[in-house]
Amino acid sequence: MAVLVTGGAGYIGSHMVFGLVDRGEKVVALDNLSTGNRGLVAESADFIEGDAGDRELVCRLVAEHAIDAIIHFAGSIIVPESVEQPLAYYANNTVVARNLIEAAVRSGVRNFIFSSTATVYAGESDKLLSEDLPAGPISPYGRSKLMTEWMLEDSARAYDFRYVALRYFNVAGADPKGRTGQSSPRATHLIKRACQVALGRVPHLDVFGRDYPTPDGTGVRDYIHVSDLVAAHALALGYLRDGGAAGVMNCGYGRGSSVREVIAAMERVTGRTLPVKESPRRAGDPPWLIADSRLIRATLNWRPAHDDLDNIVRSALAWESKLNSP
C-alpha cells in the first residue's frame, strides 16, 4: 500500500510527506512544481513531476505503486488573487479535483483526503464555525473548494469511494526537525510576511484593514501549527482505512488571533518592534474565521500539540532564517 500526495513539494504537502514516511508509509509525491520545491520532498518518497488533474498519469501511478489513498493538497490558495483570476482558480482547484476524483474512482482508490478551507464560511461574526452551518464563501477561492466538497459528497454517494474533507483554518509554522517549511519568497501569508519583515528582508508589514468589526479592527484568524494539521491527516487516513464514514471536518484550534495579536507575538519572540504600515482591506477577506473543532476532536480523537501562537511564530521564524535572502 502507498499514499499518493498531490502538491507533495508544496508547503503543507511536503510536511505531510515527511509525516507519512516518519510513520513508515510508502509515499508517492506528485507535484507540477508550479509553486512547489523539489528539494523539500523527503528523499525516501518517490517524486513524480506531473499534474494532479492528469487522469492517465494518476491511474498509472495507482497501479504501479499499489496506492490505496490519495491526499490532495495541490491547488491555488491566495484569496485576493482568486478575486482577480477566478477562472484560474476554478481550473486549478475545481477542474483538477474533478479529474483527480475521477481517476481515483476509475482506478479503485477508495480513500481520499481533501484540503478544504475555512473560507467556505462567510466569516461575518466571532461565532465559532461548525460544519453544519450553511456555507457562504465570499471569494472564488472558497467557492472553488466548496464545489470540490460537493463533488466528493456526490461521488461518495454514487461510487465505492469515501473521503474526509478537512477545512483548514490558518496554517503556519514549520517542521520542528527543520526539514521543511514555507519556502516561497512570494508567499502572502501573514505569519510568513511577518517573518520576512522581522528578518529585514521586507521593509514593513502591511496591516490590511483596520475597520473590521473585530475588537481591534483587524482580521481575526485561527492559526494552527502545520504539524497539528499533518497529525489530523494521519488520523483521517487511519479512520478511512478502518471504514470510517465520509465527512467534512474543521481543522482549527477554536481560538482566534487578530493581525495585531500576531504582530505582538512576533515582537515578543524577537524582542524588537515590527515595522508596520496601515493599508486598505484586501479583496475577499472575511473579518473572522474561528473553528468549532469539536467534531474532529470527537471523530478522529485529534489532540493538537502546538496550540500556542508564540511557538507557531517562533517555528516559522526559525525556518525563515534558514532560507537564503531573496
Of the ranges 14-22, 85-93, 206-214, 311-319, which one interacts with ligand UD1 (CB under 6 A)? 206-214
Apex CA 126: angle with CA 121 and CA 127, to 5°?
70
Query: CA torsion, points 12, 18, 23, 24, in degrees to nearest 10?
Result: 130
Binding mask 70-89 for ligand UD1 (x = CB under 6 A): -------xxx----------
* Residue 306 CB neighbour total at 10 angstroms: 17
CA 270 and chain centroid, separation: 26
* In the chain, beta strands by DSSP E: 2-6, 26-31, 46-49, 67-72, 111-117, 162-168, 170-172, 205-208, 220-221, 223-225, 247-251, 257-258, 276-279, 288-289
Quick one: angle between helices 259-270 and 309-322, nearest 10?
60
Q: Is 206 in the site for ligand UD1 (CB under 6 A)?
A: yes
Q: Is 47 in the site for ligand UD1 (CB under 6 A)?
A: no
Which residue is closest to ligand UD1 by CB?
219
Rounded Cα–Cα distance for residues 29 and 105 (Å):
19
* Residue 85 CB neighbour total at 10 angstroms: 16
Q: Is 312 in the site for ligand UD1 (CB under 6 A)?
A: no
Determine whether 89 is an active site residue: no
Q: Is 168 in the site for ligand UD1 (CB under 6 A)?
A: yes
**Residue 278 DSSP class:** E
Residue with the three cell numbers 509553486: 35
Q: Is 290 in the site for ligand UD1 (CB under 6 A)?
A: no
In the complex, minimum distance from the CB of residue 212 to ligand UD1, in angstroms, rounded to a whole number: 8
Pick from 85, 99, 184, 188 the residue near ligand UD1 by CB under 6 A: 188
In the complex, minimum distance from the CB of residue 326 to ligand UD1, in angstroms, rounded to a whole number: 16
Of the ranges 59-67, 92-100, 166-174, 298-306, which one interacts with ligand UD1 (CB under 6 A)? 166-174
Question: Cβ distance 17 to 45 under 8 Å?
Answer: yes
Interface with ligand UD1: number of residues (CB under 6 A): 23
Of the ranges 25-33, 42-50, 51-59, 183-191, which one interacts with ligand UD1 (CB under 6 A)? 183-191
Q: Is 219 in the site for ligand UD1 (CB under 6 A)?
A: yes
Q: Which 4-33 positions form the footprint of ligand UD1 (CB under 6 A)?
A: none
Within 13 Å of residue 150, how many CA atoms lie on the same side as its CB? Answer: 11
Rounded Cα–Cα distance for residues 213 and 127 (Å):
13
Q: Which is nearer to ligand UD1, 94 or 119 (CB)?
A: 119
In the complex, minimum distance from the CB of residue 83 to ligand UD1, in angstroms, rounded to a whole number: 11
46-49 and 162-168 beta bridge pairing: unpaired
Pick from 117, 144, 148, 257 the residue near ligand UD1 by CB under 6 A: 117
Pick from 47, 161, 163, 169 the residue near ligand UD1 by CB under 6 A: 169
Of the ranges 12-20, 46-54, 112-120, 295-303, which one interacts with ligand UD1 (CB under 6 A)? 112-120
Tell me the three state secondary structure of residue 50. coil
Which position among 11, 90, 121, 141 bears the catalytic label?
A: 141
Query: Annotated active-site positions, please?
Result: 141
Give the binding site for ligand UD1 (CB under 6 A): 77-79, 117-119, 168-170, 188-190, 193, 205-208, 219, 221, 259, 282, 285, 289
